[in-house]
Amino acid sequence: MTDKLKAMLLRHEGLRLYPYLDGVGNITIGCGRNLTDNGITSDECRVMLDRDIGIAIDGVRSFFPDMDNWSPARRDAMTDMMFNIGMTRLAGFKKMIGAIKTGAWITASREMLNSQWARQVGARADELAKMVETGEY
């Protein structure tokens, strides 16, 4: 593979960072990656997952700068929730956030479960709320 080939492919295919439909209706991303027919590899999935976990951890830390003092289970539960719903939706959990900031883990757990999110994700919310409440996996 040469730099000239890469440059030519980028010029011909373009560089699109969000999925789009190509000329024949295939879901495509990047430099002509046909996701409909080719998908991604497990290695590519793991690279994206690692990046997205890092983003989720940074998001949790923006709400809770002292999160490194929590148990690993509580950190992971909140990272999982952030990964699932993102910063904007997590910010809507004002009572949960307030409870965590004061160390009221049982209240935080209840606030997690008293939400549309919990009704949507079911067992995931139950598991994460239990981890927040107990500090254990």
**Contact present, 129 and 109 (Cβ < 8 Å):** yes
Domain boundaries, the chain: 3-38, 65-134
pTM: 0.88
Question: What mean pLDDT is predicted for residues 108-132?
Answer: 98
Mean pLDDT of the chain: 97
Going by C-alpha positions, the residue among 48, 47, 20, 15 that lies closest to residue 35 is 20
Question: How many C-alpha atoms does 115 have within 13 Å on its Cβ side?
Answer: 23
Which class is 65-134 in CATH? Answer: mainly alpha
What is the share, in percent, of the chain residues with pLDDT greater than 70? 100
